[in-house]
Structure 1
Amino acid sequence: MRIGKQDQALTAIATSDADSITVRGYDLCNDLIGQIDFSDYFWLLVIGEKPTAAQRKVLDACLVAIAEHGLVPSVQAARMTLAAGPDAWQGAMSAGLLGMGSVVAGSTEVSGRYLADVMAKADADGTDLETAAIESLKELKAQRKKVPGLGHPQHSDGDPRANKLLEIAEEQGVSGRYMETLSVLAKHAPGIINRPLPINVSGAIPAVILDAGWPLEALKAVPLLARTAGLAAHLYEESLRSIGFIMSHQADLAISYDGEISEINKAKSA
């Protein structure tokens, strides 16, 4: 069964025959393997052309910045999954990646789309970014919603990763409308929301990588690829010295049961 229009049975990414493999117009064995770094290859695969030196620098910085941040929920999910199934790395890795939603790690995409929405609002209203940003912040406050890309529960005085990414982007001459929009939001948000809201890493990543030329539609690929590396480290360590069941046990200790108790158990505890 076909759903929707399906008259473009084409791909521009890769093809192969008995003698060669072609990726984005390059011969895989002669032009790419041993000739290109993985970050360049990642950019080439997604966008279809090799990055400039500045684009490579910004992409590398973003990947390093978000690859690891300790025992966050996605890491815990992956490690507990591997503890329960030591032979299923793919399952444990999947568990970790599936845990990258709109709150942790996957928030990069949410922030990027929010920046794009503020920019689109300015264009649609024929106004400037500052006016559009202020109106958007007031709307978020009225709806009691968080400001994507701003604030961090641990780095309340400023996310050092975000500061470094913005610094690198400036050094590389990567500065555009996304970074400008983020800066304007960060300027006005604390006064409108009435609490400290520094730029966090999930705000800085989309601002710098989108200004570098990365497509908004593929934004989530950046933290996904980065966290895959971090998860690999945790899964390797989990295979050597497991803490998966320790984390599970600590959850049992930390969370109390407040549901119904059967009459038999009531009698036992009496």
Structure 2
Amino acid sequence: MRIGKQDQNFTSISTSDAHSITIRGQDLCDDLIGKIDFTDYFWLLVLGERPSATQRRMMDACLVAIAEHGLVPSVQAARMTLAAGPDAWQGAMSAGLLGMGSVVAGSSEAAAQFLQQVLDRTAADGTDVETAAIASLNDLVAAKKKVPGLGHGQHSEGDPRANVLLALSDEIGNSGRYVETLRILGKYAPEITGRPLPINVSGAIPATILDAGFPLQAVKAVPLLARAAGLSAHLYEESLRSIGFIMSNVADKGITYDGPLSSKHGG
């Protein structure tokens, strides 16, 4: 059964025949394998063209910045899944990636959308970025919502990863209107919200790669790709010396039951 109206039955990403494999207009074997690094290839796959040196360096830095972040929930889910099914790496990897939502790793997408909303507001209201940013922050406060891309529970004085990414963006001439908007938000947010809200890595990543020309609609692919590398490390270690059931046991001990008791337990 056909669902929805879809009239464009084409793809421009890849094709193959008995003699060749074509990726974005280039021969996989003759032009790409052994001749392009993976960051360039990722950019080529998504956008259909190779990145410039500036685009490559910025994307590469962002991927490195968030590939690994310790035993966060998505990593624990992956490791416990592999402990329960040692033969199912694909299931364990999927468990980790599925655990990347609006709070962990996927927050870069929300920050990207917020930055775009602020910039769209300048056009709609005929105002400057500073005015639009202040108005947008006030709207969030009124709605009792968090500011995407700002704040960090551990790094309250500033996320070091964000600082490095923004400094690099400045250094290589990448910073543009998205980085400018993020910095304006970071300037006014503490005063408007009444809380320390430094720019975090989930704000720096979309700001820098959007300025580099990466599409807003594909921003979430960046943390997903990066964390796949980190998950690979955790799953390999889990296969050598498992801690999945240890984490499960610690969680069981750390959570107190507060529901009704059965008759055998004094209920």
Aligned to 1:126: 126
Aligned to 2:257: 257
What is the number of equivalent residue pairs in this alignment?
267
Cα deviations by residue, 1:175-199 (Å, 9 ceiling, x for unpaired): 1111111010000000011111100
Aligned to 1:146: 146
Q: Secondary structure at the match of 1:22?
A: strand
Cα deviations by residue, 1:146-194 (Å, 9 ceiling, x for unpaired): 1000000011110000000001111111011111110100000000111
How far residue 68 of structure 1 moved from its aligned partner, in angstroms, is: 0.5
- TM (norm. structure 1) is 0.98
Moved over 2 A (4+): none
How far residue 145 of structure 1 moved from its aligned partner, in angstroms, is: 1.0
RMSD: 0.8
1:99 matched to 2:99? The reply is yes
How far residue 264 of structure 1 moved from its aligned partner, in angstroms, is: 2.4
Q: Separation in 2 of the partners of 1:4 and 1:87?
A: 38
Aligned to 2:165: 165
Aligned to 1:14: 14
Moved more, 40-49 or 5-14: 5-14
Q: Separation in 1 of the partners of 2:262 and 2:7?
A: 61
Q: Separation in 2 of the partners of 1:90 and 1:259?
A: 36
- TM (norm. structure 2) is 0.99
Q: Separation in 2 of the partners of 1:180 and 1:148?
A: 15
Q: Separation in 2 of the partners of 1:6 and 1:60?
A: 35
Q: Secondary structure at the match of 2:87?
A: coil
Q: Any stretches of 5+ residues in structure 2 without a counterpart?
A: none
How far residue 144 of structure 1 moved from its aligned partner, in angstroms, is: 1.4
Q: Secondary structure at the match of 1:15?
A: strand
Amino acid across the alignment from 1:55: Q
Cα deviations by residue, 1:111-154 (Å, 9 ceiling, x for unpaired): 00010011111110111111111111111111211100000001
How far residue 87 of structure 1 moved from its aligned partner, in angstroms, is: 0.5
Percent sequence identity is 73
